[in-house]
Structure 1
Amino acid sequence: MSESHTEVQVRPGEEGDLAALTDIYNHYVRETALTFDTAPFTPEQRLPWLVSHPEDGPHRLLVAQDVRIVGPASVLGYATSSAFRPKAAYGTSVEVSVYCAPSATGRGIGTLLYKSLFEALTDEDLHRAYAGITQPNDASVRLHERFGFRHVGTYSEVGRKFGTYWDVAWYEKRLGPEA
Structure 2
Amino acid sequence: MVSGRTEAQVRPGTETDLGALTDLYNHYVRETAVTFDTAEFTQEARRHWLLSHPEDGPHRLMVATDPDSRRILGYATSSPHRPKAAYATSVETSVYLAPEATGRGIGTLLYIALFAELAKEDVHRAYAGIALPNEASVRLHTRLGFRHLGTFGEVGRKFGRYWDVAWYEKELPSR
| 1:119, distance to aligned residue in structure 2 (A) | 0.7
Q: Which residue of 1 aligns with 2:55?
A: 55
Q: Which residue of 2 aligns with 1:135?
A: 132
| 1:176, distance to aligned residue in structure 2 (A) | 2.1
| In structure 2, distance between residues paired with 1:24 and 1:65 | 13
Q: Which residue of 1 aligns with 2:115?
A: 118
Q: Please, which runs of 5 or more residues in structure 2 have no aligned partner?
A: none
Q: Could you state the TM-score of these two structures normalised by the residue count of structure 2?
A: 0.96
Q: Which residue of 2 aligns with 1:3?
A: 6
Asked whether 1:167 is paired with 2:164, we answer yes
Given residue 121 of structure 2, which amino acid in structure 1 is its aligned partner?
E
Q: Which residue of 2 aligns with 1:149?
A: 146
| In structure 2, distance between residues paired with 1:139 and 1:60 | 23
| 1:177, distance to aligned residue in structure 2 (A) | 3.0
Asked whether 1:19 is paired with 2:13, we answer no
Give runs of aligned pairs for residues 44-83 of structure 1, distance below 5 A: 44-70=44-70, 74-83=71-80
Say whether the 8 Å CA contact 1:150–1:171 is kept in structure 2. yes
Given residue 111 of structure 1, which amino acid in structure 2 is its aligned partner?
T
- Cα deviation, 1:105-138, whole Å, max 9, x if unaligned, reads 1111101000100011112111100000001101
CA RMSD for the aligned pairs?
1.1
Q: Please, which runs of 5 or more residues in structure 1 have no aligned partner?
A: none
Percent of pairs with identical residues? 71
Asked whether 1:84 is paired with 2:81, we answer yes
| In structure 2, distance between residues paired with 1:176 and 1:105 | 28
| In structure 2, distance between residues paired with 1:113 and 1:55 | 15
